Structures are given as structure tokens and as C-alpha cells.
Structure 1
Amino acid sequence: MSSAGEPADSLEAASAKFATAVQETLDGVLPGEHKIISRRAPDLERFVVGPQNREGVQLLVGGEPLATLSLSMYLSLDRSSTFLKTVRSDMVVKSTLDRTPLIRLDYRADMGRAPAAHWQVHAERGAFSHLLARAHAVDPSRVKKPHDLSSLHIPVGGERFRPCLEDLLQFLVQECGVDSNGGWLEVVQRGRELWRHRQLRATIRDAQEETADVLRGLGWVVEAAPGIDAEEYSPTFVRW
């Protein structure tokens, strides 16, 4: 699922194209109707792609709605004002029993203390809570909520190497037993391939000299054009 990674004519047009890609992915994987739209964010500098129904996308098990998938993907242009960039994404699976989250996959390009991309698991396990409680006793400033595992932010590769929507969809179908359409795995794999190629392109732009060195080592002839800014953009490689 990706219409990003190529130069964008305009943020509005690129966001609409991205919404269409998300729509096609969900239609190919999950049964039912899912209307995905692109709308301008309140700050007017970004667009948000997500379900038209703010309740989210229904997840069925044996035809029964047991959970929902909430999606919000905030889009802007990158630092060169050329390529579409996801600056924030919220993917939340909620139970229909009490509307509380089960798991979350969150990403913020400008995240502070927590990892830029992370899972949050809304579950409990005694042994894990025991570890956190002991750590809290030693230093309360480091572990502030020892009995709330959902307060932990589990890092998953940062800005460039984080999971994609297709990873979450395959988890829901393959591991959680959510109903799916025929051919869903092919849709997921195709979208994941596009996503990883997009991230590869972005990583290359962040590390052009390193990319050129690798290509030269493989026998390519690579020379920088005059006036090219090839300085490495280190934040994507050092932030967790």
C-alpha cells in the first residue's frame, strides 16, 4: 500500500492517491465495505487519510463483528517539499465488547521521549508486572506505571524500518483469525513490497554516499552530479 515515494504534484492530490491505495488494500484483504477518504487536517498543513466512518473498519470473525481497526495517517511533504511523507500514523485495534484498545501501532516523526514508531499492547502479565514493579521501586522516574503494560512503547525500527499497514493486516488475519477475502495474502505481499521499496528510496536519499559506495562495490559506475547535496540525513539512522 503506497502511492508515496515518487515526486508529488501537490499534497492534496498525493494524499488522495494515497487514500485510494489504502482503500484498495483493505478491499482486497477484509470483507465488507470500507470507505477511505483524504481530508485536510485542522492545522491546514497536512492531510489525514482514514475511514470515513470515524468508528473505524469492522473486523469480522465468522461473520460476527468482534473488533474494529481505526486508521489515521497524517501526510505532508518531506524536507525537500518534493516527496509525500507520513508524519504520523495511528493504527488501533479495539474490541467491540468495551471499545478499549487491544493493540496499537503508532508512529510520530517528531516523537520525543518514546520511540518514533512503537507497539503498545493493552494486556497484562504477572511476571512482566513484577519486573516493572521492582524497577519502579529502584527508580520511580524510569518506570512510572509498573502495573500498566500499555504504557510501554516497544520500538520497531524507527522512521524508515517500521511496520506497515500490511504487516498489521496479516497479523490480524493469520494470527488473530479475522475474516479475510480470497487472495488476501497476495494483496498484502504486493502492498508490503511497494511499502518497502518506498522506504528504500527514502533511505537512499538519506544516505546517498553510502548507497553510491555499495553500488560501486557491485560494479556500478556512480558519480555525483554537480551541485548535488549528498550530506547524510542522520536523524533517521540514530533515533529509535
Structure 2
Amino acid sequence: MLGQAQEFASRIEQTIRSTLPCSPTVRVQQFPDTGRVRISPVDASDPETAERLPLTCNGETLAFWTFYMFAEVTDDGFLKIDRSRVALTPVFENVPVARLEFENRATGAPTSHWQFHAERGALSFILARTRRGGKRERVPMSLADLHFSNGGRRFRPGLEDFIEFLIRECGFDSRDGWRAAVEDGRELARRFQVRTIARNYPAEVAEVLKSRGWKVEPPDDFDEWESTATLREY
């Protein structure tokens, strides 16, 4: 697993260095007791300290962004992201403006979701009415408490999408050629997702291929049972 994780971390590091004007060191940290690894940017002079990556406009630092990922190996030997978080934080405070999170073992919030730390009077009014007298009455009525679902564990946004959001939507400084670097990383990440879907739902894939003229035959020990939980979850 360590080799796969280090290769993944190296790819992330290269993508960031090719898109944003910063040069992070993305490190893999092992946790033998859980069988997981953590992938995150660290201070080059102190590998035990997580690094906040600066975001600039015309050279002036206006915000920071951070990320981490926990990964483990599946039963068939593939690296799987179990938990991740990417956050955008203004330079003048520690509360993030936005967070993109994934929790494979989530039981309440959507598996993959955005959270926004901002307020708007109209939304506060709506939440005050919809939660009055109900089971969620005691839950704080704020935008930051809402989880905006975005595709589940198979169709969720990736780190490359967050980077493009920082550059295109927020207007932070970028490197020449950033778009090609983002698209290369996104294509590779989505191809991995396509392969995972094919492994998990081979009968569905085979049916589509047959409809396109392919000749596909299942192995003798093929089990038709499929887990639909990933396709149905919030």
C-alpha cells in the first residue's frame, strides 16, 4: 500500500506545483494500528507539521487552503480513499469559508458534501421556520450546518476540481499551463473511478459493451450479486 500511496501523493504534489504558485511537499504518513495512511502537505523543514498552502492575488497572500486524505487498501489490493477534506480559509481568521469533505463511513451527513461558512438572512429565516418544533429544533440554524451532497463516493469532485475552483471562480494566482495540468490530473483520477465502477458492476458494464458489439463472457465463478448501496446512498 505504501508504494501506491506515495505514487498518489507524488501525482498530487506535481499537480499543485504545476497549477498554483506554491511548492508543497506532499507526504505519506503510515498508521500501522489502523492499516491506513494519511496524505497531506507538510512543512519541508518539519515533516510532522501540516502546511497551509498560500493563495495569492497579484502576489499578495489573501487566503490559505489545506487538504488531507486517509486511504486504505481494498480486499483486492487497490488504494481507496476513506476520508478527505479540502478547505479554503481567509488569511485574517481560522474559520474556513468553504469545505469539500468525503467520509466513506458517514452515517448522517452525505458521504461527499460541500459546507459553506457564511450567512444570509433569507436562508436563516427559512431554517428557523422549517426546524421549529421538529426533531432538529435544537440544531443551530446556519448555513455552515448544511451539507450539500455532490455525487457520493463514486461521482464526487476531486482535488483537481477544487484547484480549478480556486483559480477560475475565486481568481487566485496560477501558473502558466495550469489548465492542462488540472485536466491531466482529473482525467487520470476519473479513469481510476471508471475502473472501480467496472470492477464493482461488471454485469452492467458487460451489458453496455454487448450492446455496442463487443463479445463479453463472464468467468465460470461469476457471482451476479451486486451491492447497490453506493448507487442509492445520499
The TM-score bracket by the shorter chain reads over 0.9
Contact 1:91–1:104 (8 Å) recurs in 2: yes
What is the alpha-carbon root mean square deviation over aligned residues? 1.5
Give the 5 Å matches for 1:83-98.
83-98=78-93
Q: Residue 133 of structure 1 is aligned with which of 128, 149, 158?
A: 128
Contact 2:16–2:22 (8 Å) recurs in 1: no
Match for residue 75 of structure 1?
71
> Offset at 1:140?
4.3
Match for residue 145 of structure 1?
140
Match for residue 52 of structure 1?
42
Are residue 62 (structure 1) and residue 58 (structure 2) matched? Answer: yes
> Offset at 1:231?
2.7
Hey, which bits of structure 1, 4+ residues long, moved more than 6 A? none
Contact 2:13–2:25 (8 Å) recurs in 1: yes
Where structure 2 has 5 or more consecutive residues not aligned to the other structure, the ranges are 44-49
Contact 1:207–1:230 (8 Å) recurs in 2: no
SS in 1 for 2:131: helix
Contact 2:57–2:171 (8 Å) recurs in 1: yes
- Which stretch shows the higher mean deviation, 57-66 or 171-180? 57-66
Greater share of residues in strand = 2
Where structure 1 has 5 or more consecutive residues not aligned to the other structure, the ranges are 1-10
> Offset at 1:95?
1.1
TM-score normalised by length of structure 1? 0.91
Contact 2:40–2:68 (8 Å) recurs in 1: yes
SS in 2 for 1:161: coil
Q: Distance in 2 between matches of 1:59 and 1:229?
A: 50
Q: What is the number of equivalent residue pairs in this alignment?
A: 228
Greater relative contact order (Cα 8 A, min sep 6): structure 1 or 2? 1
Are residue 28 (structure 1) and residue 18 (structure 2) matched? Answer: yes
Contact 1:28–1:183 (8 Å) recurs in 2: yes
Percent of counterpart pairs with the same letter? 35
Give the 5 Å matches for 1:141-220.
141=136, 144-146=139-141, 148-220=142-214
Q: Distance in 2 between matches of 1:227 and 1:120?
A: 44
Q: Distance in 2 between matches of 1:140 and 1:70?
A: 34
